Amino acid sequence: MNKLLVSPAPHLHSKETTKGIMRDVIIALMPSVLVSLYFAGVSAFLVLTVSVVGCVLLEHLIVKYMMKKKTTVHDLSAVVTGLILALNLPVSSPWWMVLIGCVVAIGVAKMTFGGLGHNLFNPALVARVFLLISFPVQMTNWAVTNGIFTPENPLIPGFLLGAQGQLPDALSGATPLGIIKEGLANGLTMDVLSQQHDFSYWQMLFGKINGSMGEASALAILIGFVYLLARKVIKPIIPLAIVVTVALFSGILHLIDPAHYADPLFHLLTGGVLLGAVFMATDYVTSPMSSLGMLIFGVGIGLVTMIIRIWGVYPEGVSFAILFMNAWVPLLNKIKPSPYKKEVNLG
């Protein structure tokens, strides 16, 4: 006789799993990964590999030997963290720096809080900011990414050489945001800067701009965004709130003084706004749960990003902004859904 199963209702479950969600995020990240592979080849591949393998291995070891529990790596969340961390690093990152990033992301930002679902801050971003502060030289020396098949980039990964400066043929360049930050500080105007440098929006959209691996192509990120929306993994509130805030903020300043403030499209397409808005600010664990909370969260990220970009020391502020707003999430989660109020009986 087969024993009957008994459980409280409901007796069906949607097919959704944590693993499935993580898999969707990984798929959504693929366009950006492919773009970075296309432009930086072996270097990008090695950074990605070390980051993903490092994160997964580290989580496995920590859960198994320090927390003495069943390993949790099969939920794929460590893979997501590894990918996002890699996409937040320059192509030329040396291997030891990537590994330190993994230790900070998984070891410090994720597992010390108790693992998946318990961390307060986005692990990949904590690692990025940690690296940015600890190794400013390596983290802001951007190899000019001219594609793998061009003579400028002879397939020698900066990765193996360690420091950026030893790359034979690659040129180091600053990101567009870095250029205008420095230029404006030196008294130049936007017109002069855009004449000196080639700030083509097409390039920004398709990926020939300097920056960390994932920032290269806005289009790739947008493809991922559409996928996540279609799969209903994320709600569009947070990314839209960030983008609209950044656009409004920079738009108003640009209207007031176009000579000293870049236009909104420039701010949206350069730097990590899109990458952050789509993949990092929407991280379930570190973002609010209610729609209103999400809106406040997104607007906050947009504001802090622009404040740092325009008046701060760093040229880019998305990571700081997201981390800053992460700290507000527990408070934003206090927003209670409202019950229906007593309605007047019209009869």
Partner 1 sequence: MSKTFSIGGIHPIDRKFSKDRPIEDLPVPQRVYLPMNQHLGMPSVPIVKKGDRVKVGQPVAEAAGFVSAPVHASVSGTVADVALYPDFQGKRVLTVVIETEGDEWLEGIDRTSQLKQEITTVPEETFRKIKEMGIVGLGGAAFPTHVKLTPIEGMQPEYLILNGSECEPFLTSDYRLMLEHGQEILIGAELMRRVLGTDVNGIIGIEENKPLAISAMQKIAANYLQWKVVPLKKRYPQGGEKQLIDAVLGRKVASFALPISTGAIVQNVGTAFAVYEAVQKSKPLLSNVLTVTGSGPTIQKNYRFRIGTSMRDILYSAGALDPEGNLLPQFAKLVSGGPMMGKAVVNLQAPVVKSSSALLLLTEKETKRQEPGDCIRCAKCFQACPMHLQPYLLYQLALAGRTEELEKHRVFDCIECGCCLYTCPAHIPLLDQIRLAKNASLKNKRKK
Partner 2 sequence: MTSIFLYTVLILSLLGGLLAVVLYFVAQKFKIQEDPRIDQVLEVMPGANCGGCGFAGCRAFVETFINNPERTDLFCPVGGNESMQQAAQVLGREVQEQAPKIAVLRCNGSCEVRPKFNTYNGSPSCAVVADLYGGETSCSFGCLGLGDCVQACLFDALAIDPETCLPVVDEEKCTSCGACVKACPKKLMELRPKGPKNRRIYVACSNKDKGALTRKACPVGCIGCGLCIKACPFDAITLTDNLAYIDPDKCRLCRKCVAVCPTQSILEINFPQKN
**Least CB distance to partner 2 at residue 7 (A):** 4
Q: Which does 66 bind (CB under 5 to 8 A by kind): partner 2, partner 1, none?
A: none
- Alpha-carbon distance 196 to 130, whole Å? 33
* Residue that the structure tokens 């040129």 belong to: 171
* Beta-bridge partners for 142: 173
Q: Please report whether residue 16 would count as binding partner 1 according to CB under 8 A.
A: yes
**Least CB distance to partner 1 at residue 5 (A):** 4
Q: Please report whether residue 227 would count as binding partner 1 according to CB under 8 A.
A: no
Residues 58-87: x where in contact with partner 1 by CB under 8 A, - otherwise, as a string: --------------x--x-x----------
- In which element (H, E) is residue 143 found? strand 142-143
Q: Which two tokens stand for residue 208?
A: 């020939």
| Closest among 315, 189, 308 to 254, alpha carbons compared | 189
Q: Please report whether residue 7 would count as binding partner 2 according to CB under 8 A.
A: yes
Q: Please report whether residue 12 would count as binding partner 2 according to CB under 8 A.
A: no
Q: Which of 6/256 has CB closer to partner 2?
A: 6
| Closest among 273, 291, 276 to 236, alpha carbons compared | 291
> With contact defined as beta carbons under 8 Å apart, do 159 and 195 qualify?
no
DSSP class of residue 279? I
Q: Please report whether residue 8 would count as binding partner 2 according to CB under 8 A.
A: yes
> With contact defined as beta carbons under 8 Å apart, do 127 and 110 qualify?
no
**Least CB distance to partner 1 at residue 60 (A):** 16
- Alpha-carbon distance 146 to 181, whole Å? 23
Q: Which does 334 bind (CB under 5 to 8 A by kind): partner 1, partner 2, none?
A: none
Q: Which does 346 bind (CB under 5 to 8 A by kind): partner 1, partner 2, none?
A: partner 1
**Least CB distance to partner 1 at residue 332 (A):** 12
Q: Please report whether residue 345 would count as binding partner 1 according to CB under 8 A.
A: yes
- Residue 6 makes CB contacts below 8 A (sequence gap 6+) with none
Q: Which of 3/68 has CB closer to partner 2?
A: 3
Residues that bind partner 2 (CB under 8 A): 3-8
